[in-house]
Structure 1
């Protein structure tokens, strides 16, 4: 069994231990990689054992301290195992990044109730349960929690009702936890991610719950996964409350706060002129 101590490696996160949910691929994988490169020991997580093990092997081969836990973050017992993995392998827990979630590509009126619930649960309980399981350890280390949200939570987005609702919920959750746990020294932050290049196999759910490719996004609007991960890691380092990624995201915040009707007009106009952007 691995020694229960976080390895001493150089970097701004030297000696710290992180869990990144949904890190077998995509943004989560790149965030885990950068945390490792900055000195942290990282517990990887995902639901696909082969893909998760491949990511673990790649990072371990590069000399990083990593462990892996196959876990469904909407299952509290699985999340308890996930938190225990950090303690068993590395003896502590300092950073939690709740990245795992399911998205959608379906209008509300067409969605089956169980599909709406599945998307919503992944985005709400997929953050709540890992945090509940990890909270005692994070309190002991006065650690950091970063919820991965989306710019679509800032103003809503057609064909994304359950996803937008879930991402907005964790933003309010972070605010509430800052108030409830103000005297603990814990950091609660939210990163609102914009359009990002995805792995080719990335899938979201349609109205019937079937996996389909993500809707079209103009390449010029997309950041790479590595760019997004670097922003997330800086957010954690600076213990920021909120980070909105991309110029488009900052425009959405400005318009939503100052000219909300203009924002709605833009969305309603693009639904008619850029249908493939939503459908």
Structure 2
């Protein structure tokens, strides 16, 4: 059945969901899970025993992902929703409650990235990227928060290593990802007595779907900037790291050695960290443009 809620939960004849897996019996929402890292995170959760509500803005792509995971024997539902619209996020949460009865895990993965220098960007494009990263995190959590507190559940914001030290041609994206990292810290203090886990995963260079697009200065979709293959992790590798983060209820996880080096240098030698970024900008502009 294809509706805005896209509730396609089935009872598969060959059930791969593990009754004794580390997430057995848990109910998860993964935003932006129609493709990419979100899709592989949802698949990894299913493999570990969870039932998952998938989300995306493309009805066709989401339906295909739901069908694929259902065919693999997993317990999933789908909800077409724009996570920058609070009413859509309320409907996303209600889909989880109607289908599975509770919410234990929320992973806010949906976001829009960019490839443009700040001086060239149209203001509405900056706002669109920032909204997707900030309100695309705030609204799903706000809608799900009472239910997550009821289950003493887990919330993970997907951030980026670019939030640790900034990245030329990524101003709005970096600002948004840094904002959600600080938001997580604030919420841990505010909700310390609830038992709710709130963490952040800073992802690094990751292999993308072939049709992955980001926004240019005028808001047109363009391919992502060059990323050296040797520095990229697969989507499945990143998904496994996210699951380990959730399972261990970590506060912060930085994916990749490059990201950990970035965080270390930015703490003890920020001028050196900036020098490295500026040097790569001069020598390898294709990493940014």
**Which residue is 2:174 aligned to?**
164
Runs of 4+ more than 2 Å apart: 7-10
Residue number among 154, 165, 169 corresponding to 1:155 in the alignment: 165
Residue number among 259, 272, 277 corresponding to 2:282 in the alignment: 272
1:217 and 2:227 aligned: yes
Instruction: Say if 1:8 and 1:15, in contact at 8 Å, map to a contact too.
Output: no
CA–CA separation in structure 2 for the residues paired with 1:175 and 1:266: 28
1:238 and 2:248 aligned: yes
List alignment gaps of at least 5 residues for structure 2: 1-6, 11-16
Shift of 1:10: 2.9
Provide the secondary structure at the position in 1 that maps to 2:219. coil
Provide the secondary structure at the position in 1 that maps to 2:143. helix
**Which residue is 1:87 aligned to?**
97
**Which residue is 1:206 aligned to?**
216
**Which residue is 2:129 aligned to?**
119
1:10 and 2:20 aligned: yes
CA–CA separation in structure 2 for the residues paired with 1:65 and 1:10: 15
Deviations 1:157-207 (A, max 9, x none): 000000000000000000000000000000000000000000000000000
User: With structure 2 as the length reference, what TM-score do the two structures score?
Assistant: 0.94
1:109 and 2:119 aligned: yes
CA–CA separation in structure 2 for the residues paired with 1:10 and 1:114: 48
RMSD, aligned α-carbons? 1.2
**Which residue is 2:71 aligned to?**
61
* 1:127-138 equivalences in 2 (<5 Å): 127-138=137-148
CA–CA separation in structure 2 for the residues paired with 1:227 and 1:267: 26
Shift of 1:154: 0.2
Instruction: Say if 1:13 and 1:40, in contact at 8 Å, map to a contact too.
Output: yes
1:36 and 2:22 aligned: no
User: With structure 1 as the length reference, what TM-score do the two structures score?
Assistant: 0.97
